[in-house]
Amino acid sequence: MIRRLVVMGVLLAGLAVVGTAESDVAPADVLASLVRPGIVAELDKGCESEYVADERYTMSVTVEQPAYLTVFFFLSDGRALLEFPFKGYTEHRPGPLDASVAYEVPTDWLVDGPGRFFVPRTPGPAVAVAIASAERLVIPHSTTRCHDQGVSQWLIAYTHEEAVAVILDALGALPEGAWWAGAVCPFTFVAPEPVEGEEGEEELPAGFFICP
């Protein structure tokens, strides 16, 4: 437990540094209210790692008590996305995670695994936030419209502060005294090097985003 608290302190310290940059990544003071011991969550390349366009990832998660998992992405453009659970989760695995079991998300929830998430195509620093709760969280969201792509993402807010408020409201709706835990894992999305001869990115219509 001491090691986990030390690791979390290091991650939050890193977020504090990143949050002072020009990009709009969520600073430590914004996310601090979502961090609570009881869950260990890390992207497959590790926290503070880098991902490039179209790269996919998994997340390793272990909880100290039986719990339902919810994962969010806080992106450098200010948006916050509901990344997990995805459609079909309740059919494939309706119950909570078992305590002290190392899970690979989303692979362990897929009937035809293995599976991996797409990394959002928003260049700059980002933060994955994993919340474990005794009951499944109800997170209001809308669908982000993706330009020239056949899928969409679940948007919960256009600002990090608003997103944290949404998550805290969902946690506040749990029964009084209900257990929950939260962890953060900062990472960076790196845009690919331009290919010679290819045209630059076209201007997106209002309300559309580049997203997987």
Identify whether 197 is part of a domain.
Answer: no
Identify whether 17 is part of a domain.
Answer: yes
The closest of 133, 146, 134 to 183, measured between CA atoms, is 133
As a whole number of angstroms, the distance between CA 97 and CA 40 comes to 13
Looking at the 3D structure of the chain, how many domains does it have? 1
Identify whether 164 is part of a domain.
Answer: yes
Identify whether 124 is part of a domain.
Answer: yes
- Centroid of chain to Cα 205: 26
Identify whether 30 is part of a domain.
Answer: yes
Element holding 166 (H helix, E strand): helix 160-172
Q: What Cα–Cα distance (Å) separates residue 4 from each residue in 104, 134, 184?
A: 19, 20, 12
pLDDT at position 183 is 97
Confidence of residue 143 (pLDDT cuts 50, 70, 90): low
Contacts of 41 (CB under 8 A, 6+ apart): 59, 60, 61, 62, 71, 128, 130, 183, 185
Average pLDDT over residues 111-135: 79
* CATH code for position 166: 2.60.40.10
Confidence of residue 201 (pLDDT cuts 50, 70, 90): low
Q: Which tens digits make up the pLDDT trace of 80-111?
A: 888 888 765 555 666 789 999 999 888 776 65
The DSSP letter of residue 6 is H
Chain mean pLDDT for the chain = 76
- At position 59, the amino acid (one-letter code) is M
Confidence of residue 169 (pLDDT cuts 50, 70, 90): very high
Identify whether 21 is part of a domain.
Answer: yes
As a whole number of angstroms, the distance between CA 103 and CA 33 comes to 25
pLDDT at position 168 is 97
- Centroid of chain to Cα 8: 16
Identify whether 74 is part of a domain.
Answer: yes
Domain housing 163: 2-191
- At position 190, the amino acid (one-letter code) is V
Specify whether the CB–CB gap between 33 and 170 falls below 8 A.
no
Identify whether 198 is part of a domain.
Answer: no
pLDDT at position 124 is 87
Q: Higher pLDDT residue, 27 or 81?
A: 81
Give 90-146 as a DSSP string: HHH--SPBPTT--EEETGGG-TT----EEPP---EEEEEEEEEESS------EEEEE
pLDDT at position 29 is 80
Q: Among 70-74, 107-111, 156-160, 203-207, which stretch is predicted with the lowest mean pLDDT?
A: 203-207
Average pLDDT over residues 163-174: 96
Phi, psi at 5, each rounded to 5°: -65, -35
Q: Give the dihedral sign, CA 169/170/176/180.
A: negative
Confidence of residue 55 (pLDDT cuts 50, 70, 90): confident
Side-chain half-sphere exposure of 196, counting CA atoms within 13 A: 0
Q: Would the pLDDT of 52 be above 70?
A: yes
